Amino acid sequence: MASFKTRCERLAASNNPNLLLMNYELKSLAVVNLFIVPKHFFVREIIEERKPLSPTARRAGWIGSNILLGRIADSGKMHIVQNSVVRANELVLTNWQKTLFLRNESPETRGWLLDVMKCVESLGKRDFTLDEVYAFERHLGDLYPGNQNVRPKIRQQLQHLRDRGFVEFVSRGNYRLRS
């Protein structure tokens, strides 16, 4: 477990590592799930500050952190092994390359892009409308209280995702997740 301050400093560094997560069956020691979260999916918003350790603790006052995996878009959880089935290398690499554009974005831009990506993915369908993404206006407004123009920001992020090949524009107000 990393301290909150260290983890936040690490996020800002250019050599921030990728995260590999695995679970396995204890009896057979067989890998059940193994996935990677690329470093370009790590933004400050997915790091939760924990309460300081009590004054009686060995490291009194130390502040830890949690990684909020639920805040990471599904496209940022790239399964190598899923439900004990090894996925094809080509599929994993294709998924990786699909989001590589995020590495070149500033942390602030990445935060909005990732949150809009998560909203789109949470719709659970390939074709979606702008109005369906607008339904997340309050949620995104709560995440970014300083932004008074959430709808224009949503449109801007969808355009950016379109320009990077993550979504495609189908017709006025209609989009499609690219597979």
At the top level of CATH, which class does the domain 105-179 belong to?
mainly alpha
Q: Show pLDDT as tens, one digit a residue, over the chain (179 residues).
A: 678 888 888 877 778 889 999 999 999 999 999 999 999 898 888 889 999 999 999 988 899 999 999 989 899 999 999 999 999 999 999 989 999 999 888 877 888 999 999 999 999 999 999 999 999 999 999 999 999 999 999 999 999 999 999 999 999 999 999 87
Helices marked H in the chain: 4-12, 89-98, 107-122, 130-134, 137-143, 150-163
CA 88 to chain centre: 22
Q: Among all chains, which residue has been given the structure tokens 């500050």?
A: 49
Q: Residue ranges per domain, the chain?
A: 1-103, 105-179
pTM of the model: 0.81
For the structural domain made of 1-103, what CATH number should be given?
Answer: 3.40.210.30
Q: What is the DSSP letter of 90?
A: H
Tokens of 168: 């495609």
